[in-house]
Chains A and B, each alone.
Chain A
């Protein structure tokens, strides 16, 4: 078999897993990452749901996989321009490096919604307001309580920040925030058992295996209180805590309470560079602003452009399990494309 080169744009879990799969099938892979390191958002996460597996463990495995003679990893590298010659793509990269690829896989992933856009929560204004990503960083420390300037007697998690929200034009569900909130609230309770934990949700979407069980554990074992209702605003009080207002939609009552920490479950939004990539490869963008696949049942990893494939959270919000499955599916589809 003649060796074919595949360019993979984005070295998060999808790009790394697809690279490894294609390398094992005998293809040459150039894995392009615009940031300084591979691994994407895994670098910022402490533990993963639902089994609380350390993110580092997964990251390490993916890094071992891409440490393959058929894979060239290019970090700090962006794709500036793309030219198509017959069935080959010429990618002009940073510092005018050029790669000729027989196929291209887009795995540019997602970005976290900028929680400051939901001004009513005061992210970036009040120090007591953090995001799910910020909390994962705090979880890295051995002593969680020592990370806060004042004792945290009560913490409130807000689900669906930037998801299912017409006001920010994100109508979709980011899927992973509910279970992340459940996981993080349990972790909080484990580390700081005296802290009261509240979760404010719209619907609990426990779609994956063992998610529902985790949700039950949060309530039964840890006494975490789940309130169906969105927080309408947060403001600072004189003692430095936050006053939050919400509606308990099951009790049909407005609610007001003080909390020492507010954790915003920021959802997923398409990566900033997706528009540029879509223009270069003539890729369709869906109404949700993620890439649109050729057929969402049978050809989910195919784009409308021959030789250009898609995998992972650049298509829609998804968890790592689905991302890895999609990466492997994309590798197989690319292999079929190149061998036929």
Chain B
């Protein structure tokens, strides 16, 4: 690829991202899959960047999984999201920072719908009032939390303790970036870099010393796809999509994958175990997999945080090969320091951990 050309295209998609004072909308699934990521996001914003961000315990799921699985009416989803807007309004915030890309896509879709069909907005306002006696203002700024990290990537770089560089060779780490479909494929203009050549994660990787790989199946779905996974009979379809991506990226020997979507991070991490068990294929060197990081975890490593404080021990694919490449001094015994004795799962048969 002509890097200069692609950068030009990536940079042609920009959007306004608020500088400060965010109301944080957490993800319903990330707290289970990658429990430290959201905590790290808050820590980076509050402690490293001195930003004001409010983590509201009254916030709930956006209903996105149910919505995309066709088991909940649109009005219910819209009313739940309207309640989040009301919570934000009541606290005096105007900028929404959304942790999950499906929530981000859904919030964006709702606001776009209301622009074209104001009567829908009026109906939802009425439903919310009847149900909760709450009112709301439309957020002034809607950003995915990866947008906010992207927005502050140079400041994070200035505070960095480590680079995305192979400590032995000095070469940039080779990174696969993967954007959640609902981040930019629904509304390309709402994602930094658009849908075809997204720049949000690439920008972080480049600022922090790494190099992004452009491989043929870069835009392909991770395999989650909601109904592909949630309907058990379709799970073969889900894993085959992930396999297609791994087969396509493996020849480039990526050092790690970074994603901004809860589902993508989870499936690209866990399906590597499944594929190894099913057919004995592993995609990293020496029987290991390709580590999968969230962008907060990547930022945390760059800022010098302890890998186990970032929750990297929760990953299916072992991150140690990556930590070794980056020259990170970590404690092996501490990896499972919070784990109850005799509660370790069986080791996989094929995938090295």
Cα A189 to Cα B120 in complex, Å, equals 56
Q: How far is it, in angstroms, between the C-alpha of A235 and the C-alpha of B9 when the chains are bound?
A: 15
Decide if B216 touches A119 in the complex (CB within 8 Å): no
Residues of A within 8 A of B2 (CB): 125-127
Closest beta carbon of chain A to B195's beta carbon, Å: 8
Find B9's partner among A119, A233, A238, A243 (CB 8 Å cutoff). A119
A125 to B8, CA, bound (A): 9
Q: Which residues of B contact A126 (CB under 8 A)?
A: 1-2
A125 to B1, CA, bound (A): 6
The interface residues of chain A lying within 8 Å CB-to-CB of B8 are 124
**Min CB–CB distance A149 → chain B (angstroms):** 13
CB-CB < 8 A to A246: which residues of B?
none
Query: Does A235 lie within 8 Å of B197, measured CB to CB?
Result: no
Query: B287: shortest Cβ distance to chain A, in Å?
Result: 23
* Beyond A116-B9, A238-B251, 20 extra complex contacts between A and B, CB < 8 Å: A119-B9, A119-B195, A119-B196, A124-B5, A125-B1, A125-B6, A125-B197, A127-B2, A233-B196, A233-B219, A235-B214, A235-B215, A235-B217, A235-B218, A235-B219, A236-B1, A236-B216, A237-B216, A238-B215, A238-B252
- In this assembly, does B300 line the interface, its C-beta being within 8 Å of a C-beta of chain A? no
> Among the interface residues B195, B219, B251, which one has the most CB atoms of the partner chain A within 10 A?
B219
Contacts of B196 in A (CB 8 A): 119-120, 122, 233
Once the chains bind, are A243 and B5 in contact (CB under 8 Å)? no
**How many Å from the CB of B108 to the closest CB on chain A?**
18
B9 touches A124 (CB 8 A): yes
The residue of chain B having its C-beta at the shortest distance from the C-beta of A126 within the complex is B1
Are A125 and B215 in contact, with the CB atoms below 8 A?
Answer: no
Taken together as a complex, chains A and B put the C-alpha atoms of A116 and B8 apart, in Å, by: 11
Q: Return the contact of B5 from the options A125, A233, A235 (Cβ within 8 A).
A: A125
**Contact string against A for B residues 199-237, beta-carbon threshold 8 Å, 1 for contact and 0 otherwise:** 000000000000000111111000000000000000000
**B5 to chain A: which residues have CB within 8 Å?**
124-125
A15 to chain B, nearest CB (A): 34
A120: chain B residues at CB < 8 Å are 196
23 contacts between A and B (CB under 8 A): A119-B9, A119-B194, A119-B196, A119-B197, A120-B196, A122-B196, A124-B5, A124-B8, A124-B9, A125-B1, A125-B2, A125-B5, A125-B9, A125-B197, A126-B1, A126-B2, A233-B196, A233-B219, A235-B216, A235-B218, A238-B215, A243-B216, A243-B217
Interface centre among A119, A124, A125, A237 (most CB of B within 10 A): A125
Binary contact track B81-123/A, C-beta < 8 Å → 1, others 0: 0000000000000000000000000000000000000000000
Q: How large is the interface on A (under 10, 10 to 19, 20 to 34, 35 or more residues)?
A: 10 to 19
Interface residues of A (CB under 8 A from B): 116, 119-120, 122, 124-127, 233, 235-238, 243
- Measured CB to CB, the closest approach of chain B to A230, in angstroms, equals 15
Chain B residues with Cβ below 8 Å from A235 are: 214-219
What is the minimal beta-carbon distance from B183 to any residue of chain A, in angstroms?
16
Residues on A with beta carbons closer than 8 Å to the beta carbon of B194: 119
| Least distance between A127 CB and chain B CB atoms (Å) | 6
Residue of A nearest to B13 (CB): A119
Which residues of A sit under 8 angstroms from B216, Cβ to Cβ?
235-237, 243
Q: Which of B5, B197, B216 has the most CB of A within 10 A?
A: B216
Tell me the minimal C-beta distance from A158 to chain B in angstroms.
Answer: 15
**A107 CA to B335 CA in the complex, in Å?**
74
| Whole-angstrom CA separation of A45 from B219 in the bound complex | 35
With a cutoff of 8 Å between Cβ atoms, the chain A residues found around residue B251 in the complex are 238
B353 to chain A, nearest CB (A): 29
Q: For the complex formed, measure the closest distance between the CB of A191 and the CB atoms of chain B, giving whole angstroms.
A: 26
Which residues between 245 and 302 of chain B lie within 8 Å of chain A, taking CB atoms? Answer: 251-252
Expressed in whole angstroms, the minimum distance between the Cβ of A166 and any Cβ of chain B is 14
What is the distance, in angstroms, from A150's C-beta to the closest C-beta of chain B?
15
Give A119's nearest chain B residue, CB to CB.
Answer: B196
Q: Kindly provide the distance from the CB of A261 to the nearest chain B CB, expressed in whole angstroms.
A: 16
Contact residues of B between 1 and 47, Cβ < 8 Å to A? 1-2, 5-6, 8-9
* CB neighbours of A233 from chain B (8 A): 196, 219
**Chain A residue with the shortest CB-CB distance to B215:** A235
Assembled-state Cα–Cα distance A235/B6 (Å):
12
B8: nearest residue on chain A (CB-CB)? A124
Q: Are B214 and A236 in contact (CB under 8 A)?
A: yes
- Chain A residue nearest to B219 (CB atoms) is A233
Shortest A269–chain B CB gap in Å is 19
List, in ascending order, chain A residues with CB within 8 A of B252's CB.
238
Q: In the bound complex, how far is the Cα of B216 from the Cα of A236, in angstroms?
A: 6
